[in-house]
Amino acid sequence: MAAMVASEAISDPAAAVGPQKRNRIQVSSNKRPIYFYVNLAKRYMQQHNEVELSALGMAIGTVVTVAEILKNNGLATEKKIMTSTVGTKDEAKGRLVRKAKIEILMCKAENFSDLMITAKAESIASNDAESKQGEEVRD
C-alpha cells in the first residue's frame, strides 16, 4: 500500500512515513478495547514521559476517547494535536482513497507518579480482599 501525506501540520512528508517512533501508539477502532490503549499509554508515559496517539479514519473517535480518559483521570495533558489527510491506494479499485489522520501528543501530568502509585496500591488491596473472600468460601 503506497502512502502519500498532504498536511498543513507536517512540513516534511518524508518524516511522516519514516521509521516508527518508540512512543507512538497507532490506535485501531475495532482491534482492541479502549482500555488496552489507555493502559498502554500509561506504560509508554512511564518510560518516555510522553506518548503520541495516532489514528486514521474511523479510529479517530477512539483515539480522542483514549486521550480524554487520560486527561480526565489527571494522568496526562495534551501537548500538541495535529491533523492531516493521508492518501492510500485502494487495492480493489486501484484508486487513491483519502483518509483523515490525527496525532495527539500527550505528556505526563505533574502528579502522574503519585496517581500510578495510588492505583497500584488500590489494585493490591482489591486483590487481597478477593483472595480473603475466596478463603472464607472454602472454609
Tell me the mean pLDDT in the region 82-97: 88
Give the pLDDT score at 120: 76
Over residues 34-46, the mean pLDDT reads: 92
The pLDDT of 78-85, averaged and rounded, is 95
Same domain, 61 and 125: no
What's the rounded mean pLDDT across residues 21-42? 89
Mean per-residue pLDDT over the chain, rounded? 80
Residue 120 and residue 87 share a domain: no
* Contact in structure between 36 and 117 (CB atoms under 8 Å): no
Percentage of residues of the chain with pLDDT beyond 70: 76
Q: Are residues 127 and 96 both part of a single domain?
A: no
Q: Write the DSSP string, 124-139.
A: HHHHHHHHHHHHHHH-
Q: Say yes or no: 33 and 62 in one domain.
A: yes
Global pTM value:
0.70
Q: How many domains does the chain have?
A: 2
75 vs 92, residue with greater confidence: 75
CATH number at residue 12: 3.30.110.20
Which residue segment(s) compose the domain that 22 sits in?
3-108
Same domain for 98 and 115? no
Phi/psi zone of residue 27: left (φ > 0), alpha (ψ -120 to 50 degrees), beta? beta
Chain mean position to CA 56 = 12
130 burial via Cβ count (<10 Å: 0-12, 13-18, 19+):
exposed
Tell me: do 53 and 84 sit in the same domain. Answer: yes
